Amino acid sequence: MGRYHRDLPPLAAQFIRYVLGFSISVGLGLAPYLGKLEVPGFSPMLSLIPDSLQDTAIPLSSAVMGIVTIWVQWHGSVRPGNARLSIWFMRTLKICTIALFVLIAIELLAVVRLDIPAVNRTVAFAIGPIHPHTPPCEILGRSECIKYKLSLDESHINSYFGETQANCTKLMLVLTYVIFMSSFGMLIGILMVKQNHASVIWHKKSM
């Protein structure tokens, strides 16, 4: 990664380091607290979450921790005279937080995840929140319907649950994901601009 950083402009390379620091590094550093790593004698709050939801809860909690870390870093280095940057930061923080909560809601209400032991993996289908309860799944839940009555062919699944509903769910997932990721990057960019601006001012005063 270092070699690729040398090929980038300084600001772009710095931005990448910040993104990796506030996302990957935060997740790895908080892995025991988030429940990613087992610590003898310590039971993380993740143990309160059903096993079927833990694969969803871990990345979402890591994203929340990343946002909190940026917020702490911002307030720890805030200086007078940055009113415009502060306004942009707070607005972007609200957008990022709302997008994350919407993403969580869509994931829990409109996405079905199935464990496939034969291939040792989990597959997910964005089908929407509404179950038609028509044959052959009139008395089955969404997961049982897909697993036992429908094939894992996404076109068959979309046909049963409604292609419009499924496509709208996919659109909302993609849009929300893009908004969250872009606003998260925007938070880091604003923080980076403020810190660089503060460094320039400090350098001028020290001369």
Q: Which residues does 23 contact at the CB level (< 8 Å), separation at least 6?
A: 62, 63, 66, 184
Q: Which residue has the higher pLDDT, 109 or 50?
A: 109
pTM over 0.75: yes
Q: Is the pLDDT of residue 181 over 70?
A: yes
- Give dist(CA 134, CA 78) in Å, integer: 58
Mean pLDDT of the chain: 81
The residue range of the domain holding 9 is: 2-206
Q: What is the per-residue pLDDT for 8? A: 62
What mean pLDDT comes out for the span 188-193? 85
Q: Is the pLDDT of residue 202 over 70?
A: no
Least confident of 11-20, 22-31, 59-68, 73-82: 73-82
What number of other Cβ atoms are within 10 A of residue 78's Cβ? 13
Q: What is the per-residue pLDDT for 106? A: 93
For the chain, the domain total comes to 1
pLDDT over 90 for what percent of the chain?
35
Asked whether the bond before 59 is cis by omega within 30 degrees of 0, the reply is: no
